[in-house]
Amino acid sequence: MMTKAEMIEKLREKKGFISDMDGVIYHGNKILPGVLEFVEWLKKEDKKFLFLTNSSERTPKELREKLFRMGIDVDKDIFYTSALATAQFLSVQKPKGTAFIIGEAGLINAMYDVGYTMNNIDPDYVIVGDTRSYSFDKIEQAVNLVIKGAKLIGTNPDITGPAENGIIPATKALIAPIELSTGKSAYFVGKPNPLMMRIALKMLGCSREESVIIGDRMDTDIIAGIESEIDTCLVLSGISSRSTVKEFPYRPTITLEGVNEIVGV
């Protein structure tokens, strides 16, 4: 059996790095220890890397600006969100369709960009993403649209997300009242849906053997990697802890306190 140091060295030899953001890079507006050094190491070693997030609130431009404020300068093209994945999926399923959206700018812009229009009368889809603009009126409207035949889509299956002072409800929690009221189950596009991982590998231009996914959640990041046959690195800087890891019937390839351990800071 390899030692932890040997496993970290093997991880460092990977060509492609797919990293989650919330709980790995930052909590809210607080950057996590060692992240600046980790990103600089990725650049210096000419690694291919992608920030893959289940959060659907922000556009890639907004995510780039957020990291820039934290001292990280990267191109907006290295971000891929569940909002972009949802838009891409629905543009194939029903090109130029219509949707009623409960979500933020990241999701709304992504849907506009693939030719979707907003419709609160008889939409093809009701789409729910991460949002703080959540109200009973919107839930009521969504429930009745789904009952009338609109298909229910969730950008990601996260129940909660990490924040500076604890956790916040995420998409699966927000969409639950609509599912319960209508008896309809939502289809979730984000991790661990294999769609996200296949797109990530294509964007990196790397094979699964050459890549690793770094995440803080056993139920999305780690299972997504395992089911896509990509090595996995769980960091304990977000949702999952050493005690909660034991609740799952699968294990990550390696477990670290944070990305700081990859670069030895």
Domain extent, residue 257, equals 4-54+191-263
Contact criterion met (CB below 8 Å) for 25 and 53? no
| Same domain as 177, residue 105 | yes
Burial of 132-149, coded b for 16+ CB within 10 Å and e otherwise, reads eeeeeebbebbbebbeee
| Same domain as 172, residue 93 | yes
Instruction: Give the chain's domain count.
Output: 2
The question of whether 22 is a catalytic residue gets the answer yes
Residue type, 77: D
| Same domain as 135, residue 170 | yes
Instruction: Report pLDDT for 29.
Output: 86
Instruction: Report pLDDT for 39.
Output: 97
Residue 33: inside a domain, yes or no? Answer: yes
| Same domain as 213, residue 120 | no
CA-CA distance, 68 to 50, in Å (whole number)? Answer: 16
Residue 177 sits in a domain whose CATH number is: 3.40.50.1000
188, 212, 237 - which closes a domain: 188
Residue 61: inside a domain, yes or no? Answer: no
Residue 48: inside a domain, yes or no? Answer: yes
Residue 73: inside a domain, yes or no? Answer: no
The CA–CA distances, whole Å, from 226 to 193, 204, 230, 234, 247 equal: 12, 18, 6, 12, 16
Phi-psi region of 242 (alpha: psi -120 to 50; beta: other; left: phi over 0): alpha
131, 165, 188 - which closes a domain: 188
Instruction: Report pLDDT for 59.
Output: 95
Nearest in space to 157 (alpha carbons), one of 199, 102, 219, 213: 219
Does the global pTM surpass 0.75?
A: yes
The CA–CA distances, whole Å, from 229 to 24, 61, 207, 225 equal: 21, 30, 10, 6
3-state SS assignment for residue 37: helix
Pick the catalytic residue: 22, 124, 130, 216?
22
Residue 46: inside a domain, yes or no? Answer: yes
pLDDT tens over the chain, length 265 residues: 789 999 999 999 999 999 999 899 998 888 999 999 999 999 999 999 999 999 999 999 999 999 999 999 999 999 999 999 999 999 999 999 999 999 999 999 999 999 999 999 999 999 999 999 899 999 999 999 999 999 999 999 999 887 777 788 999 999 999 999 999 999 999 999 988 899 999 999 999 999 999 999 999 999 999 999 999 999 999 888 888 999 999 999 999 999 999 998 7
| Same domain as 246, residue 175 | no
Instruction: Report pLDDT for 223.
Output: 95
The question of whether 158 is a catalytic residue gets the answer no
Nearest in space to 101 (alpha carbons), one of 179, 177, 154: 154
Residue 71: inside a domain, yes or no? Answer: no
Structure tokens at 197: 């991982």
